[in-house]
């Protein structure tokens, strides 16, 4: 009996020694935020250099314990920070190579680069850009590898990527006629069928809205983990749908999600997940509850020397780019006078640029957000940054004509001398003693029940300047396009710009 007991103990400990430990670190929606940045109430958070310090530390720790690291990103590496945008995302890719990422999903904002530039960027990467649903329209051939199979210890892991199928609407060049984005519902079950028999563990890296991911996992069981991106949501803990665990790590590299997985006999027997903040001075609460989504960092991570060395030449290059002329203004573009509200030449220019980029029916821009004039002569990026200094992104709303009227009525109700009104594009109207008249969208009269698209910046979308009506409208998309970049592109494409002096609205206040 005693012998049997000892034997059992030996077998037991032997089995334990066979356990395979795999840690997954995941990021998403970094949007070019390679440098540390400020958020409400906190300075110098995130940044790719402290992230590197963290990854190196974890990798070292795991290696000494003979454990394994899997490093994944769920896409939208591009668009959102001028430093990165001007360099077409190059610094981020080169540093991700050094971090030894295993794979990245292709996000919609990867298509803010022209296809040729995106393929060039992918070539620079030493890790695969995965997408199982982006094809060339004419041949139906995949543009990116759909999946990879990686061996970590004795575990064979399949990883496949997905790109949101509304990319043609929510990216600059996603509407390229050579491209087609196949439906999630068609591709995901096919991938599961193909990969499941070949691997021990199946991971999806999905750049698809979180609510859609949850729905897709309900419809198609068979994935063990889905690493999500696109919604910029921090899941305080993974969402469990059947046997699938879903996690998303916010945005901008503010944190990394961390799964610690234990496998025995090639089966997952234990898992743990937490969100690790990158130099967070205070915790981040999860939306709509008082749960902590990410704890404050216990120790401030230093900058990584290797990364700083990579940055150096780029810093010089960007300094030069800031002063390079984008185009020429034939005359001054001036702001209007706040006490007598009317369209201004610079307001017309900005709202036209926003409307063109989003292909929306209407674009609005709050006059308070225009901080400088553009003067006759050469225009540089630095000049444009002075006009639009805030890091606001661009939202697209889908709304009814009656909602547009509600917005205009709100504007008419404010005292115009406070500057709480919009410059407009694609829209014409009159305000007479607080009443709205003759509203036209393009050349046609506005119809109350017709659906329109409207572009506006993130400040107003969050109810800025008192326009609470925008918070009530639910059909909206954050395009992540920075206003400043949109205007730069608009000028660069035209080379020469001249003021449009059309009065797009009139406002009679006397007798109010
Ligand atoms: Zn996205």
Longest dimension (CA), the chain: 103
CA dist., res. 107 & res. 167, Å (int): 8
Cα(49) to centroid(ligand 1), Å: 23
Continuous H helices in 196-295: 210-219
Distance (Å) from CA 334 to ligand 1 centroid:
35
Distance between Cα 337 and ligand 1 center (Å) = 38
Q: Is the pLDDT of residue 321 over 90?
A: no
441's enclosing H/E stretch is strand 435-441
Instruction: Give how far the C-alpha of residue 18 lies from the chain's centroid of Cα atoms, to the nearest Å.
Output: 40
Distance 339 CA to ligand 1 centre (A): 40
In percent, the amount of the chain with pLDDT more than 70 equals 95
Q: Give the span between the Cα atoms of 188 and 146, in whole angstroms.
A: 11
Tens-digit pLDDT profile for residues 176-185:
999 999 999 9
CA of 167 to the centre of ligand 1 (A): 8
Portions of the chain given CATH number 3.90.780.10: 325-508
Mean pLDDT computed over 472-488:
91
Contact 65, 71 (CB under 8 A): no
Residues of the chain with CATH 3.60.21.10: 18-317
From the CA of 101, how far away is ligand 1's center (Å)?
Answer: 19
Distance 109 CA to ligand 1 centre (A): 6
- Check whether domain 325-508 has CATH 3.90.780.10, yes or no: yes
User: 259, 263, 255: which is closest to 237 by C-alpha?
Assistant: 259
pLDDT tens for residues 241-300?
999 999 999 999 999 999 999 999 999 999 999 999 999 999 998 876 778 999 999 999
Q: Kindly state the helix (H) or strand (E) to which residue 180 belongs, with its residue range.
A: strand 179-181
Distance CA 84, CA 314 (A): 9
Token pair in block for residue 140 = 């139906």
Contact predicate 367/335, CB 8 Å: yes
pLDDT at 48: 97
Distance 164 CA to ligand 1 centre (A): 8
What mean pLDDT comes out for the span 470-477? 91
Side-chain half-sphere of 128: how many Cα atoms within 13 Å?
A: 16
293 CA to middle of ligand 1, Å?
21
Q: How far is the CA of 231 from the centre of ligand 1 (A)?
A: 7
Task: Examine the pLDDT at 204 and tell me if it is beyond 70.
Answer: yes
Distance 253 CA to ligand 1 centre (A): 14
H-type alpha helices, 432-476: 458-461, 469-472
- Cα of 478 vs centre of ligand 1, distance in Å, is 9
Distance 30 CA to ligand 1 centre (A): 10
Encoding tokens for residue 486? Answer: 């949109």
CA 360–ligand 1 middle distance (angstroms):
19
Domain with residues 18-317, CATH architecture: 4-Layer Sandwich (3.60)
Distance of CA 301 from the midpoint of ligand 1 (Å)? 28
Distance from Cα 68 to the centre of ligand 1, integer Å: 29
User: Per mean pLDDT, which range of 129-133, 269-273, 327-331, 332-336 is the poorest?
Assistant: 332-336
């Amino acid at each position: 009996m005693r012998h049997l007991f000892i034997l059992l103990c030996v077998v037991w400990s032997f089995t334990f020694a066979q356990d395979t430990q795999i840690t997954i670190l995941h990021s998403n929606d970094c949007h070019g935020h390679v440098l540390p940045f400020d958020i409400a109430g906190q300075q110098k958070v995130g940044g790719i250099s402290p992230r590197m310090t963290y990854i190196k530390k974890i990798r070292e720790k795991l290696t000494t314990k003979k454990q394994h690291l899997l490093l994944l990103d769920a896409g939208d590496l591009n668009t959102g920070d001028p430093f990165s945008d001007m360099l077409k995302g190059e610094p981020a890719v080169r540093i991700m190579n050094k971090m030894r990422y295993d794979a990245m999903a292709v996000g919609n904002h990867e298509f803010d680069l022209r296809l040729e530039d995106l393929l060039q960027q992918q070539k620079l990467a030493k890790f695969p850009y995965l997408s199982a649903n982006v094809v060339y329209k004419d041949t139906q051939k995949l543009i990116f590898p759909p999946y990879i199979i990686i061996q970590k210890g004795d575990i064979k892991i399949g990883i496949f990527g997905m790109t949101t199928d509304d990319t043609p609407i929510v990216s600059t060049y996603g509407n390229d006629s050579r491209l087609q984005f196949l439906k999630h519902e068609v591709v995901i079950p096919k991938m599961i069928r193909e990969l499941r028999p070949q691997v021990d563990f199946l991971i999806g890296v999905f750049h698809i809205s979180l609510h859609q991911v949850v729905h897709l996992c309900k419809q198609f069981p068979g994935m063990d983990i889905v690493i999500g991106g696109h919604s910029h949501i921090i899941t305080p803990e993974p969402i469990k749908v059947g046997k699938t665990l879903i996690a998303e790590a916010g945005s901008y590299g503010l944190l990394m999600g961390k799964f610690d997985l234990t496998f025995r006999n090639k089966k997952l027997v234990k898992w743990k997940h937490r969100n690790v903040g990158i130099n967070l001075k205070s915790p981040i609460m999860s939306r709509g509850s008082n749960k902590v989504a990410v704890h404050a960092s216990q120790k401030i991570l230093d900058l990584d020397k290797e990364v700083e060395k990579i940055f150096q030449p780029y810093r010089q290059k960007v300094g030069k780019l800031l002063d390079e002329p984008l185009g020429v203004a034939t005359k001054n573009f001036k702001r209007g006078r706040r006490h007598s509200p009317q369209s201004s030449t610079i307001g017309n220019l900005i709202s036209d640029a926003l409307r063109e980029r989003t292909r929306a029916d209407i674009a609005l821009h709050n006059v308070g957000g225009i901080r400088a004039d553009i003067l006759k002569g050469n225009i540089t990026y630095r000049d444009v940054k002075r006009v639009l200094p805030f890091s606001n992104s661009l939202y697209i709303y889908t709304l009814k004509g009656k909602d547009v009227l509600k917005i205009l009525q709100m504007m008419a109700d404010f005292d115009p001398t406070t500057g709480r009104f919009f410059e407009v594009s694609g829209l014409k109207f009159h305000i007479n003693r607080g009443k709205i008249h003759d509203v036209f969208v393009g050349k046609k009269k506005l119809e109350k029940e017709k659906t329109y698209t409207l572009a506006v910046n993130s400040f107003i979308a969050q109810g800025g300047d008192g326009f609470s009506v925008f918070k009530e409208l639910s059909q909206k998309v954050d395009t992540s396009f920075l206003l400043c970049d949109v205007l730069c592109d608009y000028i660069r494409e035209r080379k020469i710009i001249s003021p449009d002096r059309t009065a797009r609205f009139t406002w009679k206040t006397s007798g109010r």
